[in-house]
Amino acid sequence: MSIYVLNELKGANINLKKISIFTPCYNEQDNVEELCIAVRNIMSNLPEYEYEHVLSDNASTDNTWKILRRLAAEDKRIKIIENERNFGPERSGAYGFFQTSGDASICLACDFQDPPELLPEFIKKWEEGYKVVWGMKTSSEESKFMYFIRSLYYKIIDLFSDVKQYEQVTGFGLYDKKVVKLMQKENEPNPNFRNLIAEYGFQVGTIQYRQPKRKAGKSSYNFFSYFDLALGSLVNTSTSLLKIAVFSGFFISFVSFILALIYLVLKLIYWNEFDLGIAPIIISMFFLGGVQLAFLGVLGEYVGEILARIKHTPLVVEKCRINFEEEENDTIS
């Protein structure tokens, strides 16, 4: 569609569909400006759509916020939110995403591991009728070990989950406005879009891609972050861990009872000759203690999830927002 035709449509008061792109940021001073330029260039080739680019800064400690303020001053389509503190990637990301106002919203990482070039393909798939369109990794330029670990994680989640889960998707993709509003109503303490969409049962369109390396900077995630995310996904998608704890308890009790009977019979038959000492007892105590601690930890995760849900703590407390509706704007010195 040409710019001339687009202007004619605007003159005829025909409302254009609006696409929202959301990007969470934390210490992304080396990526954020280049990403905004990339998004602007891509969306300029889609003049039949309006767009906004919402970026949420999770209390960065570098110059990310200064760069965002400058970009927002230069382009009113860039809307920015700054948090009072670091609320974690899940909470901050979900909150920022829920501030989008488009007919469809696209979640796009700042580090270029989510290729911006896929935006037109997401929109095309959405126009075909899909309420959710996800990017699905076929391979990755990151280390083979990390890719293997991630693949194993997806399979474990799918194995234990009560509903079919999607593999090799990170949440990068497009969500129809109705889906965004539905997720927002959930009031999840730590929203996981991938798990929620699987629970809803929407037919998901997928765009396959090879995940590139992070363009610049260093990820804030580490081993413990990924472990916490994986455990949280297991707790949110299934009660299988509790069932495993119950079955393990019964199984260990049964095995212990059988071994105790065997030990008693052998001791009665070979009273003087049969002497195992205290080593088996010590080993058994440590084994059972480890099992108990592990399952107490699992139980604690479920209790923690319940506590988070009943506290009704806000996802994020804002410090500032710029270029949103005028009556909603706050300013800082």
Q: Which long-range contacts (CB under 8 A, 24 or more apart) does 11-18 make?
A: 16/48, 16/49, 16/50, 17/48, 17/49, 17/50, 17/102, 17/103, 17/104, 18/49, 18/50, 18/51, 18/52, 18/101, 18/102, 18/103
Rounded distance between C-alpha atoms, residue 292 and residue 248, angstroms = 10
Q: Is it true that domain 3-223+315-328 has CATH number 3.90.550.10?
A: yes
Rounded distance between C-alpha atoms, residue 56 and residue 83, angstroms = 8
Name the amino acid, one letter, at 159: L
Rounded distance between C-alpha atoms, residue 80 and residue 326, angstroms = 13
Q: Torsion angle of alpha carbons 253, 258, 264, 269, nearest 10°?
A: -170
Q: Give the distance from CA 289 to its chain's centroid.
A: 34
For residue 7, the model assigns a pLDDT of 52
Rounded distance between C-alpha atoms, residue 186 and residue 164, angstroms = 20
Task: Record the tokens describing residue 312, joined without a space.
Answer: 């009704």
CA angle 140, 64, 68 (to 5 degrees): 105
Tokens 């300029």 belong to 44
Instruction: Say if residues 189 and 309 touch (Cβ distance below 8 Å).
Output: yes
Rounded distance between C-alpha atoms, residue 198 and residue 236, angstroms = 12
Rounded distance between C-alpha atoms, residue 277 and residue 137, angstroms = 56
Name the amino acid, one letter, at 91: R
Phi, psi of 305 (to 5 degrees): -65, -40
Rounded distance between C-alpha atoms, residue 321 and residue 95, angstroms = 13
3-state SS, residue 138: strand
Q: Spell out where 115-203 has E strands.
A: 132-140, 173-176
Tens of pLDDT along the chain (333 residues) come to 444 444 555 544 467 899 999 999 999 999 999 999 999 999 999 999 999 999 999 999 999 999 999 999 999 999 999 999 999 888 899 999 999 999 999 999 998 989 999 999 999 999 999 999 999 988 877 777 777 777 777 777 777 777 777 888 888 999 999 999 999 888 787 888 888 888 888 889 999 998 888 777 676 666 666 667 767 767 776 677 777 777 777 777 777 778 778 777 877 777 777 666 666 777 777 777 777 777 787 777 778 777 777 777 888 999 999 999 754 444 443
